[in-house]
Structure 1
């Protein structure tokens, strides 16, 4: 079996030095759709170096996004990339991410779950600099055809859609070249650029990175609910329920809950495909 669960989980964590600068942050923000309109003061916080703040989802690409890539090459893991799907992503912020920094990222396979027709790898990356912990990120990676080995099924993270109408709904257009721009932040999976590879994976054309939608959604929540204050985000988790194709429109629905609850529940769908679900079980926790 290509996945040896016991060996993967017991393997020594891998550590690597990572660094990033303002240009990396700006490129990431542009990759998730920031900068429209280009001279809007609220957008300049994402694109102009003299005003720059860092959207917390930048954690998924800081240092080139080595956490997922490294996890797929960990001891006990040998998989076909055409069978790999990013199933979910969570980040927990220990403090705001600076626009420039250097840190140590320590990655390991935290768990391997048996979902029957697929295996799920939980790839955990903990990042700290000289002042202490910065963030912890968990990526849930589905590997189709690798389940059924008798392992634990794992916890359920389903939260469901809240009752009632959302408190806010916004729509965000995805550019035709969005995936080509986003991949410059470090995710070079050909699924998002190469039509022939996408066909081998079962798609009629390349799809947008799930983490691009992830970042665009967090930006919408920060801008709409949190007054543009990225430092208020303490954690952000989602489940990837469906693909997005470049050129489509995202409809992002937000439920803020009771006053003082400190979390926003979110659902994202593709407008052009009759509201096909894209992100579900999505929660942004905040101060």
Structure 2
């Protein structure tokens, strides 16, 4: 069996030093669509080093670049083909605001291996701390097609009841044709997001956007729309990747306010930016992020 759950869970954690600079933060923000309009004061806090605030989802790439997928496949007891792998979900807990530059210690381990029958799910936990204490905890759920069926624990259900009523806010964000190419410079080099031939082998018509790019675009929309642009208010952020996004599509981000949190649903709705007009193409209102919650102060 390519996944040996007992061996994977018994493996020693991997610990290493990570570091990031303001340039890394700025590149990440640009990769999720910040900086439009370029001179907007609300955007400059994401792009100008003298005003830089760090969106908490930067934690998913800080220092080592998207450890949830690539590093998870190199853990003991895990031998699978990259083309069978998708990012199934992400949970991020922020212990205190992320500095614009810093060094820290990151500890990676497989926290769980679940048997979903036709697939396996690996939960890779990354805990990051600096000299002042814990900074964040990341759980990446890695979905591996065709690797289940050994009779293991199916794991907890992550499905939530849909939010009640109409959303409090709805915004749309256009995904540029080169968005995945820019985002991958933050460290996720999976060819699924750039190489058409590899994407076809993985079952897609063309390269798809990184799930974590959609994740970042969505958190920025929530912070800017409902949290007054204050990145320090985010306490945790969790989502399930329910579908793919193709560069050139538009994301519709629906938000519902609840006590201490925001419920979110994201879909791909069309393939031309609203400002350009013309005939829209796309997949209707295809879900791409589900069971999404941003907890805040």
Q: TM-score of the superposition, structure 1-length normalised?
A: 0.98
Aligned partners of 2:57, 2:104: CA distance in 1, in Å? 16
Residue 163 (structure 1) shift: 1.6
Residue 72 (structure 1) shift: 1.2
5+ residue gaps, structure 2: 271-282
| Secondary structure of the corresponding residue to residue 6 of structure 2 | helix
Aligned partners of 1:127, 1:3: CA distance in 2, in Å? 26
Of 258, 267, 270, which aligns to 2:268? 270
Deviations 1:180-205 (A, max 9, x none): 00000000000000000000000010
Residue 67 (structure 1) shift: 2.5
- Matched residue, 1:43: 43
What RMSD over aligned residues (CA atoms) do the two structures have, in Å? 0.7
Deviations 1:95-138 (A, max 9, x none): 00000000000000000000000000000000000000000000
Residue 66 (structure 1) shift: 5.4
1:9 equivalenced with 2:9 (yes/no): yes
Deviations 1:22-78 (A, max 9, x none): 000000000000000000000000000000000000000001325222221010011
Aligned partners of 2:24, 2:161: CA distance in 1, in Å? 35
5 Å-filtered alignment, 1:58-77, equals: 58-65=58-65, 67-68=67-68, 69-77=70-78
> How many residues matched?
284
* Preserved contact between residue 160 and residue 280 of structure 1 (Cα < 8 Å): no
5 Å-filtered alignment, 1:1-287, equals: 1-65=1-65, 67-68=67-68, 69-257=70-258, 261-272=259-270, 273-287=283-297
| Secondary structure of the corresponding residue to residue 126 of structure 2 | strand
Aligned partners of 2:266, 2:67: CA distance in 1, in Å? 25
Aligned partners of 1:65, 1:193: CA distance in 2, in Å? 16
| Secondary structure of the corresponding residue to residue 250 of structure 1 | strand
Aligned partners of 1:122, 1:16: CA distance in 2, in Å? 19
Residue 224 (structure 1) shift: 0.2
| Secondary structure of the corresponding residue to residue 7 of structure 1 | helix
* Preserved contact between residue 239 and residue 282 of structure 1 (Cα < 8 Å): yes
* Preserved contact between residue 64 and residue 187 of structure 1 (Cα < 8 Å): no
| Secondary structure of the corresponding residue to residue 204 of structure 1 | coil
| Secondary structure of the corresponding residue to residue 62 of structure 1 | coil
- Matched residue, 2:279: none
Deviates more, 1:28-37 or 1:66-75: 66-75
* Preserved contact between residue 254 and residue 264 of structure 1 (Cα < 8 Å): yes
Aligned partners of 1:163, 1:277: CA distance in 2, in Å? 17
Aligned partners of 1:27, 1:146: CA distance in 2, in Å? 35
